[in-house]
């Protein structure tokens, strides 16, 4: 094995270990000592490649955003040409399916965007920019064909849908707790579809142009 290959393998081992920790815990609960101890990584090797916890977390965030961006790009290609609501519904459903298959990435994603360490917000925003641009391109195309309600313009609709895309999973789980908890992936996807329909069409009935 060449020195370059050993270096790459060491970096991959550190990332796998970091994802296992940041992918199952909140940021504050993870320590560098804990990662080293749990995954058999010497401190010498760890600090040879990363400066500390912040850099390691940002590596996990970057990995997660890149993986999701590749998935989103594939989804957008498949959905090109579909009707407005159908495209948005399947786009968001595809994101939730991705997170069901990538539990560690889901936790890192939520820690980065919903519970970000204050001192890392700017770095996280920069890492999130390529994914945000992919979302905006897709949603811009979809919103252009939507019959928007009076007073709602395309830019506001896009911003609203962008926000929904980042909080859909946590919002869903908040609505479904206790005895109403979701038992499996199929139930989760069904509930996601119901929530999306509510988001797009609202929760009140319109009568004579006024909400009841």
Q: What is the pLDDT of residues 130-186, one digit of tens each?
A: 998 998 888 888 888 778 878 888 888 887 777 776 666 565 555 544 445 444 445
Q: Specify the pLDDT at position 145.
A: 79
211: phi then psi, degrees, rounded to nearest 5? -80, 135
- What are 95's two structure tokens? 């994101």
* Inter-helix orientation angle 121-143/103-113, to 10°: 100
Q: Where are the domains of the chain?
A: 53-202
Q: Specify the pLDDT at position 139.
A: 83
Query: Which parts of the chain have pLDDT scores under 50?
Result: 176-179, 181-185, 203-212
User: Alpha-carbon distance 92 to 181, whole Å?
Assistant: 20
- What are 177's two structure tokens? 């707790």
Q: What angle do CA 167, 169, 170 make, to 5 degrees?
A: 70
Maximum Cα–Cα distance across the chain: 74
pTM of the model: 0.79
174: phi then psi, degrees, rounded to nearest 5? -70, -35
CATH of domain 53-202: 1.10.357.10
């Amino acid at each position: 094995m060449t020195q370059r290959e050993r270096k790459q393998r060491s970096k991959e081992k550190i990332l796998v270990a970091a994802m296992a920790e940041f992918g199952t815990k909140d940021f504050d609960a993870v320590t560098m000592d804990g990662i080293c101890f749990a995954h058999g990584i010497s401190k010498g090797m760890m600090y040879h490649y990363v400066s500390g916890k912040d850099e390691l977390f940002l590596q996990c965030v970057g990995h997660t955003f890149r993986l999701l961006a590749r998935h989103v790009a594939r989804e957008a290609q498949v959905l090109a040409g579909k009707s407005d609501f159908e495209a948005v519904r399947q786009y968001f459903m595809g994101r939730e399916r991705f997170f069901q298959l990538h539990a560690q990435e889901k936790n890192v994603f939520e820690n980065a965007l919903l519970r970000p360490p204050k001192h890392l917000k700017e770095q996280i925003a920069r890492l999130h920019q390529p994914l945000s641009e992919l979302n905006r391109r897709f949603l811009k195309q979809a919103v252009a064909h939507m019959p928007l309600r009076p007073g709602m313009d395309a830019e506001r609709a896009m911003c609203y849908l962008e926000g929904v895309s980042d909080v859909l999973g946590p919002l869903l789980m908040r609505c479904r707790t206790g005895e109403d908890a979701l038992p499996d992936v199929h139930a989760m996807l069904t509930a996601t579809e119901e929530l999306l329909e509510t988001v797009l069409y609202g929760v009140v009935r319109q009568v004579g142009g006024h909400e009841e």
